[in-house]
Every structure is written in structure tokens, then in C-alpha cells.
Amino acid sequence: MGGFGRCLACGFGFREVRSNPDEMAELYDQMDVTVYESQAAGRKVTAARHFGIVKRFTTGSGRILDVGCASGLFLSEARHAGWSVAGVEPS
């Protein structure tokens, strides 16, 4: 499924190769929504931490487009901080 990369400036990790649409569809079909919903508190903490990374490299507020925004918790953090936000979740 590919390797992993890391931003040399901030250390953010990411997959270098994306799953193909068939793999993604299968993963989403198998997902247990109740498990996902039960982890909302932990995902909110993660979203706040990730937005903290963005704030370290910016001044003031701005605009954010989040492609693959899931439930929008990251965007919610940004909006709360005064940013203009937009997101799309293909699933």
C-alpha cells in the first residue's frame, strides 16, 4: 500500500501512495459507524492538536479547505479560532 513520507519543516506524516477507489469503498463499507461515533472525544482532541500545528506556522486567521474532512472536527477547531473554513468528504 505504499510508503510513508514526513514534512521536513513540521514533521507531519503522510502516506505517499493513496488507496485506489475500490479499496476505499471496501473500507468504508466495512466501517462500524457506532465505533466511529463512540470515538468522537478522542478525535476532537486529535483535531485540536492538528490545528495547533497549523497555528504554529501561521499568524492570525485565514482560510482552510479540508479535503477528506470526515466529520469536520478539524474545521470546527479552525472556525472556532476565527478561520473561514470549507470541507468535502468524498465518503
Q: What is the pLDDT of residues 62-73, one digit of tens each?
A: 999 999 999 999
Residue 87 near residue 75 (C-beta atoms within 8 A): yes
Question: Is beta strand 4-6 parallel, antiparallel or unpaired with respect to 13-15?
Answer: antiparallel
CB atoms within 10 A of CB 91: 9
Q: Residue 50 has what pLDDT?
A: 95
Confidence class of residue 4 from pLDDT cuts 50, 70 and 90? confident
Give the Cα separation of 36 and 38 in Å (integer).
6
Residue 1 pLDDT greater than 50, yes or no? no
Mean pLDDT for the stretch of residues 26-55: 91
Whole-prediction pTM: 0.69
Supply 90's cell numbers.
468524498
Point out the least confidently predicted range of 21-30, 54-63, 67-76: 21-30
Residue 63 near residue 81 (C-beta atoms within 8 A): no
CB atoms within 10 A of CB 73: 19
